[in-house]
């Protein structure tokens, strides 16, 4: 059985943790055909080494344990933006990830490395392979944030190096693929998105909130654009709609958003809930009147797939990889980013026209089932893994 190592900055630390949940799901869907290992940074609340559901998880330390704050809680970029002192941990993270990566590949005799995010993991994997002549193939998946940020010339050089010398590039959306071709002239690209568990979102569940509500699900970071959703919700409420707004997620913007809701006189009408297990989340999708994704940057957006499978209509920003999922007036409604009035009008259109909304929901459900369930996605990844493993170096 061939051995695959997923090299990633985020992986669930406990059952309710959604950090890197899509990597865990991919691993679980491939574990029957490959021996799977995960290399991910350590967190004080987790074991350094454990085997869960047949998957070996190795967590590497990268700083004094009680001060390790670079990853988790939010993305690395958002954590750095919030706390400039964390830049001191970046070189330690890169060095220790490289040391543990080389040790894992050699000691476990890894056949294929699947590095998630071009920098630092893709770069570290390629650099270590070339420096130490490691006998493994490398696939790098860009999830979006790595291509749409870190655009200084040094990072551009590092990203081009990683992508040029890996065995295969994978992207989760056409927008990322187009940017790689434009920026680096590289075409050795597969396009396979992350998936989701269809049954979990299809099975009927009781309504979690008594009143009708609009829904946001995601990390509470600046790039998710929740501030514009609150402005839009104020408009919707001012026009006589009596719905609640449920915001599910954690992140460094939560206190700021709570203060904004209070300032807009929306306290009592906006419900903030922490990130939760997908089984609990499914009920919120199923009974929401509309899911709104007001992102200002988005590589793909699994929450939209989850909503589509739960038959919840979607309004989302027309940016990044979102149009791969939400086709305007076919599988949802698209609006321009940072435009509260457009968000409000799109939501009201779905609320006021149930026939139109139902058509959108049915088309979206069928589209998501065909293209974005783990059953469909894992088959594509298994074929990609077999293809790369079979290629002669």
- Residue 386 DSSP SS3: helix
Window from 22-26, 142-146, 268-272 with minimum mean pLDDT: 142-146
- Residue 250 DSSP SS3: coil
Retrieve residue 137's tokens.
């193939």
Retrieve residue 17's tokens.
């943790």
Average pLDDT over residues 340-367: 97
| The pairing of beta strand 112-116 with beta strand 55-60 | unpaired
Question: 265: how many CB neighbours lie within 10 A of its CB?
Answer: 11
The pLDDT of residue 393 is above 70 = no
Tell me how far apart the alpha carbons of residues 28 and 7 are, in angstroms, rounded to a whole number.
15
Q: pLDDT tens digits for 128-178?
A: 999 999 999 999 999 988 998 888 899 999 999 999 999 999 999 999 999
Q: How confident is the model at residue 166, as a pLDDT? A: 98
Tell me how far apart the alpha carbons of residues 116 and 6 are, in angstroms, rounded to a whole number.
7
pTM value? 0.85
Q: What percent of the chain is predicted at pLDDT more than 70?
A: 99
Retrieve residue 277's tokens.
């297990």
The pLDDT of residue 1 is above 70 = yes
Q: How confident is the model at residue 332, as a pLDDT? A: 98
Element containing residue 246 per DSSP (H, E): strand 244-248
77: CB partners within 8 A, 6+ apart: 145, 149, 150
Tell me how far apart the alpha carbons of residues 293 and 298 are, in angstroms, rounded to a whole number.
10
Tell me how far apart the alpha carbons of residues 28 and 182 are, in angstroms, rounded to a whole number.
34
Q: Which residues pair with 50 in a beta bridge?
A: 57
The pLDDT of residue 392 is above 80 = no
Q: pLDDT tens digits for 41-91?
A: 998 888 899 999 999 999 999 998 888 888 876 678 778 888 889 889 999
Report the alpha-carbon angle 155-100-134, nearest 5.
80
Higher local confidence (pLDDT), 208 or 130? 130
Tell me how far apart the alpha carbons of residues 240 and 345 are, in angstroms, rounded to a whole number.
13
Question: 5: how many CB neighbours lie within 10 A of its CB?
Answer: 25
Q: pLDDT tens digits for 170-187?
A: 999 999 999 999 999 999
Q: How confident is the model at residue 129, as a pLDDT? A: 98
Binned at pLDDT 50, 70 and 90, residue 328 comes out as very high
Q: How confident is the model at residue 44, as a pLDDT? A: 81
Tell me how far apart the alpha carbons of residues 10 and 26 are, in angstroms, rounded to a whole number.
13
The pLDDT of residue 105 is above 90 = yes
Q: How confident is the model at residue 15, as a pLDDT? A: 77
Q: How confident is the model at residue 210, as a pLDDT? A: 84
**372 close to 191: Cβ distance less than 8 angstroms:** no
Q: How confident is the model at residue 144, as a pLDDT? A: 87
Residue with the two structure tokens 């990268």: 62
Q: How confident is the model at residue 63, as a pLDDT? A: 93
**382 close to 33: Cβ distance less than 8 angstroms:** yes
State phi, psi for 252 to the nearest 5 degrees. -75, -5
Q: How confident is the model at residue 31, as a pLDDT? A: 96
Window from 50-54, 263-267, 277-281 with minimum mean pLDDT: 277-281
Element containing residue 127 per DSSP (H, E): helix 123-132
The pLDDT of residue 114 is above 80 = yes
Q: Which domains does the chain have, with CATH numbers?
A: 3-195+374-390 (3.40.50.2000), 198-371 (3.40.50.2000)
- Residue 212 DSSP SS3: coil
Q: How far apart are the first and last CA of the chain?
A: 20
Q: How confident is the model at residue 20, as a pLDDT? A: 87
Mean pLDDT of the chain: 94
């Amino acid at each position: 059985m061939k051995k695959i190592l997923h090299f990633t900055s985020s992986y669930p630390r406990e059952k309710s943790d959604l950090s890197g949940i899509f990597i865990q799901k991919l691993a679980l869907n491939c574990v029957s055909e490959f021996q799977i290992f995960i290399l991910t940074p350590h967190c004080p609340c987790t074991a350094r080494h454990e085997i869960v559901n047949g998957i070996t998880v190795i967590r590497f330390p990268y700083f004094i344990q009680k001060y390790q704050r670079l990853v988790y809680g939010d993305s690395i970029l958002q954590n750095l933006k919030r706390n400039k002192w964390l830049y001191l941990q970046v070189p330690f993270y890169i060095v220790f990830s490289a040391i543990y990566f080389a040790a894992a590949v050699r000691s476990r005799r890894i056949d294929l490395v699947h590095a998630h995010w071009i920098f630092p993991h893709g770069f570290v994997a390629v650099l270590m392979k070339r420096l130490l002549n490691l006998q493994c193939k490398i696939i790098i998946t860009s999830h979006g944030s790595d291509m749409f940020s870190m655009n200084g010339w040094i990072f551009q050089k590092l990203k081009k190096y990683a992508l040029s010398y890996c065995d295969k590039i994978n992207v989760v959306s056409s927008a990322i693929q187009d940017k790689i071709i434009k920026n680096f002239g590289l075409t050795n690209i597969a396009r396979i998105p992350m998936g989701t568990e269809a049954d979990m979102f299809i099975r009927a569940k009781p309504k979690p909130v008594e009143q009708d509500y609009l829904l946001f699900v995601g990390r509470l970071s600046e790039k998710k654009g929740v501030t514009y959703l609150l402005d839009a919700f104020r408009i919707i409420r001012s026009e006589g709609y009596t719905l609640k707004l449920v915001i599910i997620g954690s992140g460094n913007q939560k206190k700021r958003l709570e203060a904004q809701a209070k300032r807009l006189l929306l306290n009592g009408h906006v419900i903030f809930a922490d990130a939760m297990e997908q089984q609990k989340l499914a009920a919120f999708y199923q009974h929401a009147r509309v899911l709104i994704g007001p992102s200002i940057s988005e590589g793909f957006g699994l929450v939209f797939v989850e909503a589509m499978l739960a038959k919840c209509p979607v309004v989302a920003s027309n940016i990044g990889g979102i149009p791969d999922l939400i086709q305007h007036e076919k599988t949802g409604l698209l609006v321009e980013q940072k435009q509260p009035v457009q968000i409000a009008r799109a939501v009201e259109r779905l609320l006021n026209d149930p026939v139109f909304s139902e058509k959108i929901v049915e088309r979206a459900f069928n589209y998501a089932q065909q293209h974005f369930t783990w059953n469909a996605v894992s088959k594509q990844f298994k074929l990609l893994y077999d293809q790369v493993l079979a290629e002669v170096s």
